[in-house]
Structure 1
Amino acid sequence: MTDRLTTSRVTTARGDAVTYDLRGEGPGLVFVAGAGPFRAIDPITTETAERVSRQGVTTVVHDRLGRGDSPADGVLDLERELAALAAVIAVADRGTGRGAVLCGHSSGCTIALAAARVGLPVTGLVLWEAPLGDDAAATKEWIDEFERRLDAEDYVGATEQYMKDMPPEWLEGMRRSPDFAELARGSRSQRADGESLVRASAALEDGTLASVGVPVLATYGTSTFPEMPLSARKIVDAVPHGEVREVAGAFHSWEPVAMADVLARFVRDAVGR
């Protein structure tokens, strides 16, 4: 099978332009990044997409709105992000009508869950370390303050708020960059992450996550934070067709060789269903 790369751009129903990398032939797989990454700074996802595409899968890795080569103005909320996701699912589908599997990373997991819940053509979900350890009330309080700072154009403050419960060395690493102020502007693209985290947390508590009828594989790394296996189990317990699996990985990132094999097998099984 081929992993030949095509880089192109698709326009969403909302008029946003989304740049993506397309590889391979076969059933579709779309990677949904979490709160920070985009193609140019995410070699792990790129390598994984390359490896999966060699196993008979069409892979799409895109820059989310407001990141990398997908610049966007205005309020980048979850509805715009879902429109972008719908557009790249259509790219991965290649006109077959089969839709695509979504692979979410971190808060990208909750965007992927939102896509399935609103009826986008999703055939399955692979979720890597969904950060759903807090209850819905605490999650909403955290995001409300993040959005307050974002709306005030306090991008540094918004970044600090979004990252306040993450390992402190992550934020300190950003601060050491001479481009920190510009990096902090990337918080504009995290509104969709916040909204999807609030929705997913509430759906876990009120039982409505059961509306996700597609197969769900909730994964976490062999070396990870204690809440990640717990979050994976919470998701699987809430959906009709779920499985939990540990996959080689550390520091909130998967190991590309191991994850590629898991993804290729999951996509083939989804097509078989």
Structure 2
Amino acid sequence: MPSVTESSEPSGAHLFFESFDGTPIGFRRIGTGPPVVLVHGSGGGSRSWHPVAERLADSFELWLPARRGYAPSGPGRSPKGFADEVGDLRALADRIGRPLHLAGMSYGATVALHAAAAGLPVLSLVLWEPPLYAAGAELLPVLARFEELTAHGDRRRADRLLAEKVARLPAAFVDLMDAGEPAADVPADKPSDAPGWCRDLESMAADTSDVERWSGVTAPVLLMRGADTWQPMPATLDRLAAALPEVTLTSFPGQTHFAPSVVPDAVAAEIDRFLARLSHAPSVDA
């Protein structure tokens, strides 16, 4: 396997490691300090963490894996389960070889909870709006329809399906998607996130929406949310906060699920304060 090298930008070339089942997992590593693994959500890949990561790289060593199913990582087996995601994180943790903090965005936050519950030794969890309500066999028809639409190249209707049935955006938001201009042609060299979405839907369909199971996660948790995020996310996060033994709940006024991209300075500052307090690293000014 290639040795780990530093890159000054999140957009630097990926390195790879072989996971527990032979799946190649691509990752980037930037910054210096206590190690923090940033787990991305569904769609967007590890790029979704970049606006926040570039603001944390002066204080922490950041590891940004591309989850299986998302380029340049391999697809892995199908159907995928959260145990596969945990196995990938365990292989990465073994490579890092030091105690680490684990941060997850959206679906990636659900992955982080599974990893902690499975015994991955983490110093803390940083969670941005895990969609724990999106689980169970009711998602199997959504998966089948998503595969059908993307196979026919109808990504616009596929995205609407995800918005309605997975993210559960309010009808007004979904209507705005239809009212907007059609998306520009995707560059030929840009990999599709459809395979990753399919594998993520497999994991969610095999999971449960039970929140009480996370009461066994004893690591300190920073649970972040947008104050204007739509239901059922707020109610779900309230239940999660009540179940976790040690949790700091932070809300960002005027923001929704997309705050890490919209206000990355504020999100990075909150993460920095939380992790610096735990790891005794110097905190940057908000």
Same fold (TM over 0.5): yes
Residue number among 71, 75, 79 corresponding to 2:74 in the alignment: 71
TM-score, normalised via structure 1 length: 0.77
CA distance in 1: counterparts of 2:62 and 2:21, whole angstroms: 23
Which shifted more, 168-177 or 8-17?
168-177
Alignment of 1:1-273 (within 5 A): 4-5=8-9, 7-40=14-47, 42=48, 45-55=49-59, 57-75=60-78, 77-78=80-81, 79-91=83-95, 94-96=96-98, 98=99, 100-133=100-133, 139-149=135-145, 161-164=161-164, 165-166=168-169, 167-168=173-174, 172=178, 176-179=183-186, 186-190=193-197, 191-192=199-200, 195-196=203-204, 199=207, 201-202=209-210, 204=211, 207-247=212-252, 250-253=255-258, 254=260, 255-271=263-279
Deviation at 1:74, TM superposition (A): 3.7
Q: Contact 2:79–2:202 (CA<8 Å) still a contact in 1?
A: no
Q: Contact 1:38–1:67 (CA<8 Å) still a contact in 2?
A: yes
Q: Could you say which structure has the higher helix fraction?
A: 1
Unaligned runs of 5+ in 1: none
* Alpha-carbon spacing, 1:174–1:88, altered in 2? closer, same or farther (3 Å): farther
Q: Contact 1:218–1:233 (CA<8 Å) still a contact in 2?
A: no
For 2:222, give the aligned amino acid: L
For 1:95, give the aligned amino acid: G
Deviations 1:148-190 (A, max 9, x none): 457889756876644323342686579645459x999634323
Which shifted more, 235-244 or 162-171?
162-171
* Alpha-carbon spacing, 1:70–1:249, altered in 2? closer, same or farther (3 Å): farther
For 1:67, give the aligned amino acid: Y
Q: Contact 1:49–1:60 (CA<8 Å) still a contact in 2?
A: no
Deviation at 1:262, TM superposition (A): 1.7
* Alpha-carbon spacing, 1:188–1:223, altered in 2? closer, same or farther (3 Å): same
* Alpha-carbon spacing, 1:224–1:154, altered in 2? closer, same or farther (3 Å): closer
Deviation at 1:90, TM superposition (A): 3.6
For 2:24, give the aligned amino acid: A
For 1:69, give the aligned amino acid: P
Deviations 1:12-44 (A, max 9, x none): 11111111110122222111111112145x3xx
CA distance in 1: counterparts of 2:77 and 2:177, whole angstroms: 25
Deviation at 1:210, TM superposition (A): 0.8
TM-score, normalised via structure 2 length: 0.74
Deviation at 1:219, TM superposition (A): 0.7
Deviations 1:165-222 (A, max 9, x none): 3342686579645459x999634323335535864612x1xx3221111111111124
Unaligned runs of 5+ in 2: 1-5, 281-286
CA distance in 1: counterparts of 2:181 and 2:195, whole angstroms: 16
Q: Contact 1:51–1:260 (CA<8 Å) still a contact in 2?
A: yes
How many residues are aligned here? 255
CA distance in 2: counterparts of 1:174 and 1:81, whole angstroms: 35
Q: Contact 2:75–2:195 (CA<8 Å) still a contact in 1?
A: no
* Alpha-carbon spacing, 1:197–1:49, altered in 2? closer, same or farther (3 Å): farther
Q: Contact 2:44–2:193 (CA<8 Å) still a contact in 1?
A: no
